[in-house]
Chain A
Amino acid sequence: MMRCFIEGIGLLGPALDGWQASRAVLTGDAAYLSAPTNLRASDMLPAAERRRAGVPIKLALAVGQEAFVQSGRDTSAAATVFTSSGGDNDNVHAINGILATAPREVSPTRFHNSVHNAAAGYWCIAAGSHEPSTSLCAYDASFAAGLLESATQVTVDDAVVALIAYDHPYPEPLHSVRPIGAAFGMALILAPRQTGKSLAAIEMEFVPGKADETPMLEPGLEALRRGVPAARSLPLLAALASGKATQVSIACFDHNHLNIRVTPC
């Protein structure tokens, strides 16, 4: 069993414009309306890079920044775990198009932004962080993988870790073979010990066997959970929003799942 304390939360998705603004929706106390994700470039980036930032960088920096502000932690002092099923999906589509026709002129910026860890690279520069940073992918289980990895860093390395999960739709023709419902990002600041900033404790176990995943009761949020790998985090976010002790189960493919006990501090 791994125990972590959550000190900050970030959220940006369709009609989910920030953690504070979304809490009532997540607890079912306010209606979930439909609206596109309010993507914006972070003021953490210099102006030139802000203009060139693709969707993943916008998502990752927005949710990371929100979570850090809430935690009061210094962005330069935390390790980071980024997780995403894709990477910069618009960019990957563009590069495939460029390579399919002559002349194959891939721009340098396109290329270095196409690496899976581009958002991590921009974050570390903007955050001034020399701490360890990793970038994971586990297809539909990417959020679970990121949470598991973050919990091991907290418990084994005694580190403060920012977990940042994001995904966004591919353009066609890839959208048809890998439909991702919306642009969605979320972040958690996880620490090894309770502090005055602790919002909740999570106790997590990696359990063999297929799970009865915790669903979202609201149909729109459930569709979002199923439609976006990073949105598999929604039941955990809803548990955190409720302020009550709650048990959440998240699948890691068909073989395993995470059992997470959320206890408010």
Chain B
Amino acid sequence: MQPLVISHITLANSLGLGSAATLDALRSRRSGLIPCAFEDVDLEAYIAKVEMLDSYRVRDDLSAYDCRNNRLAQLCLEQDGFVDAVEAARKKYGAARIGVFLGTSTSGILQTELAYRHLDPQTGALPADFRYAETQNSYSLAGFVTHYLGLTGPSFVVSSACSSSAKVFANAMRMMAAGVCDAAVVGGVDSLCLSTLYGFNSLGLVSRFPCRPYDADRDGISVGEGAGFVLIERATPDNSSGAMMLLGVGESSDAYHMSTPHPEGLGAKLAMQRALDSAGLKAGDIDYINLHGTATKSNDASEGKAVADVFGASVPCSSTKGWTGHMLGAAGITEAIIAMLAVEHGFIPGSMHTQRLDPAMEIDYRIENSEAKIKRVLSNSFGFGGSNCSLVLGREA
């Protein structure tokens, strides 16, 4: 693919608001995971929560969109000077020429979950102030963000579970290559809700402890919430010197099982290889891999095998979910941004809460943080339904 410039980034999650807060938490090994205290959820689990969402509201003119997910979206857009960067792009390209492609798995479903507790006892109707299109519908997120940023280009939501906000990079790449838009806001937002907490729990995939990626004794995920956005533009002589770039994207399907990855990591391997091919790079060109690393038995075993097959044991790897929890539809964008922070700051994050590396892993998994010169990184995101996506990011060769 033709490399694209990532001209601006922003993050908001349990580690704090803005990308510097996430970097600081990674460096100082401050995890966002806390014992589960969310609504009236009665599960023994750890979660990663953005505390201020309960009292926060979306902009007045967009109040119909007010729900936890869109609050988190707005909170994130307001960090890192992102709104100003989009405004500058809007002046440069025009509102109709900037696409918005966002990932979410559950959008504003929390709003519906709570509304079902207050159905009219006579008619069974939802409360009168319930807004389906602006909260529950998966598109709610992109509808909110396009209005918030004043953009009118092509827009949709990708909802492919936990690969959603990685796959949006591929959408932006194609739309720009096809001439449908000149720039794109891509990203993702997922917020805490009962469906995912109880749902993952029913599958036996939620740990009672803070999640321990790639640990020999790992026993499940910790659910987190978060948001991230990037602004993508075409590379020109003016903007590309030393710039952070999207270099390659690889997508694949497991075709194996709805909620369990392929045991040999077949789909993961395909996604990573296709990302390298798309970037015109070889395994040895990658300096750090941010793993999907959910801390379930099956994900880490399958991904570990796939990484060993494609990269051997010579590329430093880690999962940062011990800090952020598993942010599901926002995991892809958050980890892509963490991987870019690694390039920018010459910093390899290790792995929080991982005590004893699973001896079956034949990869260079890092528990401790370290410093190194990093040019190019790969970020993995895999989802239910066997939906896989790998991104190659960094500076050009």
Contact = CB atoms under 8 A, between A and B. Distances in A.
Interface stretch (B51-59, B79-87, B111-119): B111-119
B387 A121 contact: yes
Interface string B117-130: 10100001110001
Interface stretch (B66-74, B137-145, B289-297, B340-348): B137-145
B265 to A, nearest CB: 12
A118 B384 CA distance: 8
A133 B203 CA distance: 24
B203 A111 contact: yes
Contact of B159 (A95, A104, A117, A139): A117
Contacts of B384: 112, 115, 117-118, 121
B166 to A, nearest CB: 11
B161 interface: yes
B178 A130 contact: no
A80 B137 CA distance: 22
Interface string A96-119: 110110001111101111111110
Contact of A145 (B156, B254, B387): B156
Interface in B156-175: 156-161, 167, 170-171, 173-175
Interface stretch (B191-199, B207-215, B221-229): B191-199
B152 interface: yes
B386 A99 contact: no
A106 B109 CA distance: 15
B253 A115 contact: no
Given A132-B253, A156-B178, A116 B138 contact: yes
B200 A111 contact: yes
A116 to B, nearest CB: 3
A114 B132 contact: no
Interface stretch (B26-34, B255-263, B300-308): B255-263
Given A117-B384, A130-B254, A137 B195 contact: no
A120 B126 contact: no
Interface string B81-100: 00000000000000010000
A96 B116 contact: yes
A108 B202 contact: yes
B178 A85 contact: no
Given A115-B161, A135-B160, A206-B154, A106 B195 contact: yes
A148 B180 contact: yes
B177 A131 contact: no
Interface residues of A, number: 67
A129 B253 contact: yes
A113 B116 contact: no
Interface stretch (A58-66, A172-180, A189-197): A172-180
A100 B174 contact: no
A208 B258 contact: no
A128 interface: yes
Contact of B160 (A110, A130, A133, A152): A133
A173 B116 CA distance: 9
B267 interface: yes
Interface residues of B, number: 62
A87 B139 CA distance: 12
A66 to B, nearest CB: 20
Nearest to B139: A139
Nearest to B258: A112
A256 B126 CA distance: 32
Nearest to B126: A173
Nearest to B199: A111
Given A85-B137, A104-B194, A115-B161, A172 B254 contact: no
A51 interface: no
A136 interface: yes
A152 B253 contact: no
A256 B266 contact: no
Contacts of B202: 105-108, 110-111
B178 A151 contact: yes
B159 A137 contact: yes
Contacts of B182: none
A254 to B, nearest CB: 9
Contacts of A129: 253, 255
Nearest to B140: A139
A103 to B, nearest CB: 9
B252 interface: yes
A134 B160 contact: yes
A2 interface: yes
A116 B162 CA distance: 11
B105 A116 contact: yes
A2 B178 CA distance: 7
A152 B130 CA distance: 36
B206 to A, nearest CB: 12
Contacts of B155: 138, 145, 253
B383 interface: yes
A251 B105 CA distance: 25
A169 to B, nearest CB: 13
Interface string A128-170: 1111111111110110010011011101110000000000000
B156 A137 contact: yes
Interface centre among A76, A104, A105, A114 (most CB of B within 10 A): A104
7 contacts: A92-B109, A112-B199, A124-B386, A125-B257, A132-B251, A141-B156, A152-B178
Given A117-B161, A127-B255, 8 more contacts: A121-B385, A135-B385, A137-B139, A145-B155, A152-B171, A152-B175, A152-B178, A177-B132
Interface of A: 2, 76, 80, 85-87, 92, 95-97, 99-100, 104-108, 110-118, 120-122, 124-125, 127-139, 141-142, 145, 148-149, 151-153, 155-157, 172-174, 176-178, 206, 208, 252-253, 255-256
Closest CB pairs A-B (n = 9): A121-B385, A111-B199, A116-B159, A132-B251, A137-B138, A152-B174, A145-B156, A100-B116, A255-B152
